[in-house]
Amino acid sequence: MNEPKVLPTDYVTKPGEFKTSTGKTLRTDEMIINMGPQHPSTHGVLRLEVVLDGEIVVDVIPHIGYLHRCFEKHAEHMTNYQQVIPYADRMDYLASMNNDWAYALAVERLLNIVVPPRVEYIRVIMAELQRIASHLIAIGTYGIDMGAFTPFLWCFRDRERILDLFEMTCGARLLYNYIWVGGVSHDLPPGFVEKAKDFCTYFRPKIKELNDVLSFNEIFIKRTANVGVLPKDVAINYACSGPMLRGSGVNWDLRRDDPYGVYDKFEWEVQIGKGEMGTVGDCWDRYMVRVREMEQSVKIIEQALAGIPEGNVQSAIPKRIRPDRGEVYVRTESPRGELGFYVVSDGTASPYRIKARSPAFVNLSVLPEISRGCMLADLVAIVGSVDIVLGEVDR
């Protein structure tokens, strides 16, 4: 029989070591585990390298780029500014209308054209419907991350109604190519206004149902309150925007504070996180900001539907888009935050440089800061509350 190994007992205890009662030292190691790129809860192809000490997360290193599709390089080779719109759709594929609108706004500001009021109202309606659809996915998938499978299907059922409205208008369910530079591609079909009003009356009680089943569920609150707290100054320093910023208590919404479109004609409230269930800026606050934003969006849609003027939606679409030399940075409020386009034109018909500042890319960079010291299950909660879409992160 082998002699049992005699371990030396006169080591000085180094960090990561543990001295037992008999004087021997055991070395504890941190485990590096890989979440993704294929993983049910990283919402796409995101690779998280997690350094774990037992169940406690010591560090998180996100690796992105698995969905990089060279949007900016493609845009430079387009022969027409309108041709970039399908590419912009595909960046944040869950909120295409908002992507199109941000890009169209940027080019319109370069060209200095004013779109007809009917177009502005249509754009607002589409963007707000898209905001509801995107938030429904965010909420549903967040529920699934927490283990509640049912709200996910309820959210998708409601989202189908919105997608039906979009299909009625432009024929597509996910990637619309609808909002063009100078207008929209098709006018609203007959029956759209009534169907949209029906949707608004249908949807309001559904939000209440969602709150009963998920938002105020004791277990859900326990999983998300006080988890991943993002302090206000860190949020601003890391340029977080959208529900991430508002969840931390900052009263900032681009639709009200840096207005574009006709948002100033409507009455609605900016939702901020107040720390009702825990600290201000935890996952529950961000989640609840999204739920409450959906209600506000319904309000905006109803007001817009009531006040939409008549007109020709294609009257301002320029035949040839050839802006002067110049550059502009325009930002809009997409469901995930501040979506900005920096467009540089050199006087020709094709863009010189387009940089898309995507909210998910910037919001994701704050992940290592807020997830140190949490448990692995909390990491899933935090990633879910950032609400990333990898198409936007990687472009």
- Could you list the residues that contact another protein (CB under 8 A)? 31, 33, 39-41, 55, 64-65, 68, 70, 72-73, 76, 109-110, 143-150, 153-154, 157, 213-214, 217, 219-220, 222-223, 234, 236-239, 250, 252, 257, 326-329, 331, 338, 340, 342, 344, 353, 355, 357, 361-362, 364-366, 369, 375-378, 380, 394-395
Q: Note the residue count of the chain.
A: 395
Task: Order across the sheet with 353-357: list the strands.
Answer: 326-334, 337-345, 353-357
- State which residue, 172 or 236, has the beta carbon closest to another protein: 236
Write down the least CB distance from residue 157 to another protein, Å: 6
Nearer to another protein, 198 or 233 (CB): 233
Q: What is the CA radius of gyration of the chain?
A: 24
User: Is 285 in contact with 72 (CB distance < 8 Å)?
Assistant: no
Q: How far is the first Cα of the chain from the last one, in angstroms, to the nearest whole number?
A: 63
When the beta carbons of 169 and 334 are compared against another protein, the nearer one is 334
Report which of 290, 283, 243, 270 is spatially closest to residue 132, judged by C-alpha positions.
290
> Which is nearer to another protein, 281 or 311 (by Cβ)?
281
If the CB atoms of residues 9 and 34 are measured against another protein, the closer one turns out to be: 34
Choose between 26 and 219: whose C-beta lies nearer to another protein: 219
Comparison of 311 and 351: residue with beta carbon closer to another protein: 351
User: Please, what is the minimum distance in Å from the beta carbon of residue 346 to another protein?
Assistant: 9
Q: How far is CA 102 from CA 86, 162, 302, 353, in A?
A: 13, 21, 22, 15
Shortest distance (Å) from residue 174 CB to another protein: 20
Whole-number minimum distance, CB 144 to another protein, in Å?
6
- The distance of closest approach from Cβ of residue 19 to another protein in the complex, given in angstroms and rounded to an integer, is 24
Cα–Cα distance for residue pair 167/248, rounded to 1 Å: 36
Query: Positive or negative CA dihedral for 98, 103, 109, 112?
Result: negative
Pairing of strands 353-357, 337-345: antiparallel
Write out the E strands in the chain.
17-19, 25-27, 31-35, 47-53, 56-63, 179-180, 183-184, 326-334, 337-345, 353-357
The residue (of 200 and 375) whose beta carbon lies closer to another protein is 375
Measured distance CA(309)–CA(107) in Å, rounded: 24
Q: At closest approach, how far in Å is the CB of 162 from another protein?
A: 16
Closest approach of Cβ 178 to another protein, in Å? 25
Whether the Cβ atoms of residue 363 and residue 241 lie closer than 8 Å to each other:
yes
Of the pair 102, 184, the CB lying nearest another protein is at 102
Q: CA-to-CA distance for 376 and 308, rounded, in angstroms? A: 49
> By C-beta, is 184 or 370 nearer to another protein?
370
Distance CA 206, CA 155 (A): 9
Nearer to another protein by C-beta: 169 or 332?
A: 332
Give dist(CA 22, CA 35) in Å, integer. Answer: 38
Phi, psi values for residue 20, rounded to 5°? -85, 175
- What's the CA gap between 192 and 185, in Å, rounded? 15
**Which burial class, exposed, middle or buried, applies to 234 when counting CB atoms under 10 A from its CB (0-12, 13-18, 19+)?**
middle
Q: Least distance (Å) from another protein to the CB of residue 304?
A: 26
